[in-house]
Amino acid sequence: MPSEQVYSLLFQSRDGASSLYILFGGIVDPVSSRIDRFEVVAVGNSELINIPLSGTTFKDITNVCQKIKYEGKQLKNLTNKLQELFQNSGRSDDFMEQLIHYINKREDDKIKYLVNQIQNQAMGNSKPDISLWYSLIDRDKIDEAGSGKSSFETLDSEDAHEDSAPEEAPIIPIGVPTGIDASIPAAAARVQFKFILSPVSGIPVNQLKPGDQIVVQLTGSDPTTMGIIDSMKLKTEDGSIKPIPATVVATENKGVENETVVKIGNDVFGKIYEEENSIKVRLYTGEKPVSKSGGSSGASSASNASLEAGESSLLLTVLIALGVVGIGMIAIFVFLL
C-alpha cells in the first residue's frame, strides 16, 4: 500500500563544458522504495531550465519539462536515454535503498553522486554542477503547483492554447509502461545495444517489424548490460564484444524517428532510438555473426596455416623414413647375394 507521505526530489544538472543541461523531478515513495513517477528533460540552452528549485513542486517541474518537449527544444536522444536510465534505476532495489538512505540522512553530496552515475551512462564521464532540492510532502499534494511557478512564467508562450497543452500532458508513471515499453516484461533485464548495420543487404530501420531477426551488439557500462555480456561470454580476448542475434518485439515510427524493442535470449530486452530512416540493419540468417574487427578470421587463417605446415612436416618425415627403410632393404639384399 502506498505511503501517505512521499519525497519530492528535484535537481538541475549543468555541464557548461559540453553545453548539456538537465532538469529532473521525481516522486520517491520511502515505503515501497520506488520512484512512483518522474519527468526529465535534457537541453542545450541553460536558460530553458533556469528556475529556482526552492519552493518549486513536482508539478511545476513537470509543466516545464512538458513545455520544452512540446516546443521541440529538448535534446531528444539524450532525454530518451535519461528517461530509460532513471526508469531502470527506479526499479533497482540497490539504487533505491541507497537513494532513500541518503535522503533520510540528508547527505546531499552522496545523492548528487548517485544522480551523476546515471547521467554518466548517457553523457560520458563529466563533472556537472548539480543543484538539489527535496522535501517530504503529502501524497495528495503531488499535483499541486507551487509558488515557484511565477519564476518561470516567461517560458510560457503568449498563446493560451499552447500554454494549456503541457499542463494537460500525462505524467509518466514508473509502474505502468506506455507505448512500446509496454512490450517489455516488468521483471525482464533491460540492456543497452546498437544495431549491426549492413548498407547493401540490410533492412531499413523503419521497415523492421515484430518477429524479424537481426544482429545487434551489446554496449554500455551499466551493471545489467555488463552482467549479460559476462554471462553470455560475449567479450573477446581483445576486449571487443561479439555480435549476437536478436528478435524484434515491437517498433514505433514517427516520421524520421524510430524506436525498436528487441528480445535477446530469455527475459533480456533492449530498446533503441534512431533518428534516421536511412540506416539499414543486418538481418540474422542463421550464420554465426562475424566480428567487425576480423580477429576471428585472422585467428582462423593462422590456425589453417599452422595446420598445413604441420601436415607438410609430417609428410616429409614419413618419406624420409620410407627412404631409409628402402635403402636398408637393398643393402641386405646385396649382402645376401
Residue 256 phi, psi dihedral angles, 5° rounding: -95, 0
**Residue the block writes with cell 497543452:** 165
pLDDT (0 to 100) of residue 322 = 64
- Domain extents in the chain: 5-141, 185-282
pLDDT above 80: residue 223: no
Mean pLDDT across the stretch 34-62?
Answer: 90
C-alpha cell at 116: 551523476
108 in helix, strand or coil? helix
pLDDT at residue 289 in the model: 52
The predicted structure's pLDDT at residue 2:
61
pLDDT-derived band at 283 (thresholds 50, 70, 90) equals very high
Of residues 277 and 134, more confidently modeled: 134
pLDDT of residue 113: 92
Output the pLDDT for position 205.
92
Average pLDDT, integer, range 227-233: 88
DSSP string, 226-291: HHHHHHTT-B-TTS-B--EEEEEEEEEEETTEEEEEEE-STTEEEEEEES-S--EEPBP-SSPPPP
pLDDT value at 10 more than 80: yes
pLDDT computed for residue 301 by the predictor: 41
Question: What are the residues whose beta carbons fall under 8 Å from the beta carbon of 160, sequence distance 6 or more?
Answer: none
Per-residue confidence (pLDDT) for residue 22, from 0 to 100? 95
| 140/23 Cα distance (integer angstroms) | 23
pLDDT of residue 337: 58
pLDDT of residue 19: 85
DSSP string, 52-80: --TT--HHHHHHHHHHHHHTT-S-HHHHH
The residues, ordered by sequence, that sit 6+ positions from 289 with a Cβ below 8 Å of its Cβ are 196, 215, 242, 243, 244, 245, 282
Among 195, 218, 220, which Cα is nearest to 268's?
A: 218
pLDDT band at 174 (very low <50, low <70, confident <90, very high): very low
Percent with pLDDT over 70 in the chain:
73
Which pLDDT value is given to residue 333? Answer: 60
Answer yes or no: are the C-beta atoms of 205 and 195 closer than 8 Å: yes
* Side-chain-facing half-sphere of 298: CA atoms under 13 Å: 6
Provide mean pLDDT across the span 149-162. Answer: 38
Query: Under DSSP, is residue 95 helix (H, G, I), strand (E, B) or coil?
Result: helix
Q: Which residues contact 141 (CB under 8 A, 6 or more apart)?
A: 57
Phi and psi angles of residue 140, each rounded to the nearest 5 degrees, phi first = -75, 0
> pTM of the full predicted structure?
0.50
CA 196 to chain centre: 16
pLDDT at position 303 over 50: no
Mean pLDDT, rounded, for 212-216: 95
User: CA 80, CA 75: separation in Å to the nearest integer?
Assistant: 9
Residue 9 grid coordinates:
526530489
Which of 45-49, 57-61, 168-172, 326-330 is predicted with the least confidence, judged by mean pLDDT? Answer: 168-172
**What is the tens place of the pLDDT at every residue in 54-80?**
888 999 999 999 999 888 888 888 899
Is the per-residue pLDDT at 30 higher than 50? yes
Distance of CA 237 to the CA centre of its chain: 24
Average pLDDT of the residues in 264-273: 87
Average pLDDT, the chain: 79
State how far the Cα of 70 lies from the Cα of 165, in Å rounded to an integer. 8
Alpha-carbon distance of 100 to 29, in angstroms, equals 9
Angle of the 76-90 helix axis to the 108-123 helix axis, nearest 10: 130
Q: What amino acid is encoded at 165 in this protein?
A: A
When pLDDT is averaged across residues 284-297 and rounded to a whole number, the result is 56
Three-state SS at 11: strand
Higher pLDDT pick, 315 / 293: 315
pLDDT of 124 over the 70 cut: yes
Higher pLDDT, 336 or 98: 98
